[in-house]
């Protein structure tokens, strides 16, 4: 299982919402509890992101570094995201490569999951899910 670059989580949540959210919380600290409640992200974890932002300035929000901190927490050293083409290059020594995309984290919908049909959420998971499973044969 690899993190899927062509996912809702990467392009909407990490690339856009989380970075904008941190800037807003940095400017308006009272928002921290509201964001925590909306996203399910613990206040302590958001506070650690803010601490990193204050220490590293806007450099922290560049995708080259923020992807590491945004996937597995603000103390994470390294994470990477992959698409099907980059997986093919990574696993070039294998003959057959099959992919399965899944896991659409509903909390990224910020409450909209309660009004969207489950079939639509399932479809989104199969197309824009966060997990990219790669099946290989030597």
Provide the pLDDT for residue 39.
85
Query: Where exactly are the structural domains of the chain?
Result: 2-72, 81-137
For residues 46 and 33, what is the distance between their CA atoms, to the nearest angstrom?
A: 9
| pTM of the full structure | 0.86
Phi/psi at 73 (5° precision): 110, 160
Provide the pLDDT for residue 23.
97
- Characterize the bridge pairing of strands 81-82 and 2-4: parallel
In b/e form, how buried is each residue of 52-85, taking b as 16+ CB within 10 angstroms? bbeeeeeebbeeeebbbbbbeebeeeeeebbeee
Mean pLDDT by 10 residues, the chain (138 residues): 95 93 96 91 95 96 93 92 94 90 83 82 92 94
Beta bridge partners of 2: 132
């Amino acid at each position: 299982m690899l993190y899927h670059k062509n996912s809702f989580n990467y392009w909407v949540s990490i690339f856009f919402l989380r970075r904008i959210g941190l800037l807003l919380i940095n400017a308006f600290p009272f928002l921290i509890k509201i964001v925590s409640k909306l996203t399910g992200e613990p206040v302590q974890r958001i506070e650690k992101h803010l601490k990193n932002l204050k220490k590293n300035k806007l450099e922290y929000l560049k995708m080259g570094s923020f992807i590491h901190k945004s996937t597995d927490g603000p103390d994470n050293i390294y994470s990477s995201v992959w698409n099907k083409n980059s997986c093919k290059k990574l696993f070039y020594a294998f003959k057959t490569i099959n992919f399965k995309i899944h896991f659409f984290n509903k909390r990224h919908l910020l409450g909209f999951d309660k009004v969207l049909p489950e079939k639509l959420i399932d479809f989104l998971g199969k197309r824009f899910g966060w997990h990219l499973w790669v099946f290989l044969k030597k």
